[in-house]
Amino acid sequence: MSIYDQVEIEDMVFDPDMQIFTYPCPCGDKFQIALMDLLDGNDVAVCPSCSLMIQVIFEMEDLEEVAAESGLEMPQTVAATA
């Protein structure tokens, strides 16, 4: 798997309605990754229009705060380690 770049979660935009983080892709579309995917330990965001992927750099505590603010229940794997 080839990663185009690494991006800090703080540089991404969170959509609370769709529960996804986005980041501009060079092709003109946006990389996307769901909050739940990040909470499950997946850290690769994919652009739906091209083959590029980025690795999202984040602290689990920051995601837990976003999830709590969004009213999202924590997955069992995250809740058990918190």
Does some domain include residue 80?
Answer: no
- What's the chain's Rg over C-alpha atoms? 13
Cα 18 to Cα 13, 42, 49, 68, 75, distances in angstroms: 12, 17, 19, 15, 17
Does some domain include residue 81?
Answer: no
pLDDT one-digit tens code per residue, 34-76:
999 999 999 999 999 998 999 999 998 888 888 888 877 655 5
* Region label for 42, one of left (φ > 0), alpha (ψ between -120 and 50) or beta (otherwise): beta
pLDDT one-digit tens code per residue, 50-61:
989 999 999 988
Does some domain include residue 41?
Answer: yes
Does some domain include residue 50?
Answer: yes
Q: What is the mean pLDDT of residues 5-30?
A: 96
Number of domains in the chain: 1
pLDDT of residue 73: 65
pLDDT one-digit tens code per residue, 8-17:
999 999 999 9
pLDDT of residue 65: 85
